């Protein structure tokens, strides 16, 4: 059994993995934060935790969100999770019944599609547009279907790197409220903003609208911590606290959550985020510049880890040329269209990214967008190897 999920392939510069650069993982700083948390909290650091997460982390997170978002939650609106994926799993268990329809943006984070599909939901693609949402919800409900959730990543989206622009960002919570939908806002990339602050979250703009925002420390600090959070109505937080396994386990990741509180309060988190933002901005710039130098237009993502380029080169040909990526179709619940590629610039350094761009550019130039090609098995059937994230 291997130790980690990532599996490199000799000779292939692999831009498919949404994983951090190994040097960006704060091994020494985390060891120091662990020691500090054990000294500060003593035996309580190793006890069963408070079910919604330790008060110290909730308090620090509420402060942090005054810096990175337009509205800070109060602790009663915060629930600490074992990552954003776990937040989504919890929400789908709490709010979705097998056979329900869950609406999803397209393209969107491919592994969220799998989490929702695991719950037995039918996934229906809708863009975050009031008219389209109203039309689809009305049609489905007339057909007797239960439609309760709308999932999207509105800020530095996986896979496009783009953020939902302002008019739609402001109107979406209002539309959701009117239609009786809960928006699940995946806000995993908020901290990784390269050209100015991230736009305000739907949760902040909605101010009481039915929006649950999920966040993560996987990209800002380290995915192996399995630590994230959600902000939502206090009634939802209270319902999650009452879940048997949350009660039985005393929260879901208490010791790591307390360590994050110590890391945050010491200023370590701020320093680390500043350094990873510098690093990944440099990665982005190296990839974009190398593609431009090769005559390939690349939209410049203002945050996150991904660039989304038109074109559909064949993956085997790309891998034979020593470069890999994720084909665009995996980010659609319907399995298509196959006319873009997602390039992740997180895991490789600038020199490797520039070389990957040189290998990929001729293939991107040569391959036009392919025809729509629905995948018979939906999102799970389109995966070619374990979870590149």
Q: Pick the closest to residue 346 from 187, 188, 185 (CA basis).
A: 188
Q: In angstroms, what is the minimal distance from the CB of 279 to ligand PLP?
A: 17
* Residue nearer to ligand PLP on the CB measure, 20 or 296: 20
Q: How is residue 179 written in tokens?
A: 């239609």
* Residue nearer to ligand PLP on the CB measure, 104 or 218: 218
DSSP symbol at 193 = B
Q: Pick the closest to residue 105 from 167, 174, 176 (CA basis).
A: 176
CA–CA separation, 305 vs 48, rounded Å? 35
* Residue nearer to ligand PLP on the CB measure, 8 or 368: 8
CA–CA separation, 232 vs 211, rounded Å? 7
- Helix or strand (DSSP H, E) at 38: helix 27-41
The C-alpha angle with vertex 278 and arms to 277 and 284, in degrees rounded to 5, equals 85
Pairing of strands 78-81, 13-14: unpaired
* Residue nearer to ligand PLP on the CB measure, 109 or 280: 109
Q: In angstroms, what is the minimal distance from the CB of 306 to ligand PLP?
A: 8
Q: In angstroms, what is the minimal distance from the CB of 305 to ligand PLP?
A: 8
Q: Which residues, listed in sequence order, are joined to residue 214 by a DSSP beta bridge?
A: 186, 230
* Residue nearer to ligand PLP on the CB measure, 179 or 255: 255
Q: In angstroms, what is the minimal distance from the CB of 44 to ligand PLP?
A: 25
Q: Pick the closest to residue 109 from 169, 151, 80 (CA basis).
A: 151
- The radius of gyration of the chain from alpha carbons, rounded to an integer in Å, stands at 21
Q: In angstroms, what is the minimal distance from the CB of 387 to ligand PLP?
A: 8
Query: How many residues in total does the chain contain?
Result: 389
Q: Pick the closest to residue 325 from 338, 315, 339 (CA basis).
A: 315
Residues 6+ apart with CB under 8 A from 170: 205
Q: In angstroms, what is the minimal distance from the CB of 138 to ligand PLP?
A: 28
* Residue nearer to ligand PLP on the CB measure, 52 or 113: 113
Q: In angstroms, what is the minimal distance from the CB of 223 to ligand PLP?
A: 5
- Helix or strand (DSSP H, E) at 326: strand 326-327
Q: In angstroms, what is the minimal distance from the CB of 295 to ligand PLP?
A: 29
* Residue nearer to ligand PLP on the CB measure, 153 or 290: 153
Q: Which residues, listed in sequence order, are joined to residue 104 by a DSSP beta bridge?
A: 125, 151
Q: In angstroms, what is the minimal distance from the CB of 131 to ligand PLP?
A: 25
Whose tokens are 């942090």? That residue is 64
Bond from prior residue into 90 cis (ω within 30 degrees of 0): no
Residues 6+ apart with CB under 8 A from 7: 385, 386
CA–CA separation, 67 vs 58, rounded Å? 15
Residues in the site for ligand PLP, rule: CB under 6 A? 18, 83-85, 109, 153, 158, 186, 188, 216, 218, 223, 228, 389
* Residue nearer to ligand PLP on the CB measure, 58 or 296: 58
CA–CA separation, 198 vs 65, rounded Å? 11
* Residue nearer to ligand PLP on the CB measure, 179 or 193: 193
- Helix or strand (DSSP H, E) at 228: strand 228-231
Q: In angstroms, what is the minimal distance from the CB of 123 to ligand PLP?
A: 15
* Residue nearer to ligand PLP on the CB measure, 188 or 324: 188
């Amino acid at each position: 059994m291997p130790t980690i999920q990532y599996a490199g392939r000799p000779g292939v510069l692999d831009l498919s993995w949404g994983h951090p650069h190994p040097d960006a993982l704060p091994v020494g700083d985390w060891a120091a934060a662990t020691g500090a948390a054990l000294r500060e909290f003593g035996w309580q650091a190793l006890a069963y935790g408070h079910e919604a997460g330790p008060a110290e982390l909730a308090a620090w997170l509420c402060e942090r969100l005054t810096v990175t978002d337009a509205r800070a939650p109060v602790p009663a609106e915060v629930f600490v999770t074992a990552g954003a994926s776990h937040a989504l799993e919890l929400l789908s268990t709490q709010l979705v019944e097998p056979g329900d329809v869950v609406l999803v943006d397209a393209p969107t984070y491919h592994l969220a599609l799998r989490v929702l599909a695991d719950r037995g939901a039918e996934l229906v693609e809708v863009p975050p547009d009031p008219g389209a949402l109203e039309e689809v919800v009305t049609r489905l409900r007339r057909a007797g279907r239960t439609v309760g959730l709308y999932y999207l990543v509105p800020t530095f989206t996986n896979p496009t790197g783009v953020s939902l622009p302002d008019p739609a960002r402001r109107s979406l919570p209002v539309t959701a409220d009117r239609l009786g939908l809960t928006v699940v806002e995946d806000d995993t990339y908020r901290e990784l903003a390269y050209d100015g602050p991230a736009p305000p979250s739907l949760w902040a703009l909605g101010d009481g609208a039915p929006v649950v925002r999920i966040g993560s420390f996987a990209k800002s600090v380290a995915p192996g911590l399995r630590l994230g959070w959600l902000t939502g109505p206090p009634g939802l937080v209270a319902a999650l606290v009452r879940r048997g396994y949350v009660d039985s386990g005393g929260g879901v990741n208490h010791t790591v959550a307390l360590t994050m509180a110590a890391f945050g309060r010491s200023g370590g988190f701020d320093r680390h985020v500043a350094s990873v933002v510098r690093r990944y901005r440099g990665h982005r710039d190296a990839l974009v510049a190398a593609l431009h130098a090769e005559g390939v237009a690349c939209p410049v993502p203002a945050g996150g880890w991904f660039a989304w380029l038109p074109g559909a080169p064949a993956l085997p040909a790309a891998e034979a040329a020593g470069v890999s990526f994720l084909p665009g179709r995996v980010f659609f619940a319907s399995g298509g269209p196959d006319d873009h590629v997602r390039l992740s610039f997180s895991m490789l350094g600038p020199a490797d990214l520039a070389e990957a761009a040189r290998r990929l550019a001729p293939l991107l130039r040569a391959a036009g967008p392919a025809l729509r090609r629905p995948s018979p098995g939906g999102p799970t059937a389109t995966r070619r190897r374990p979870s590149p994230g």
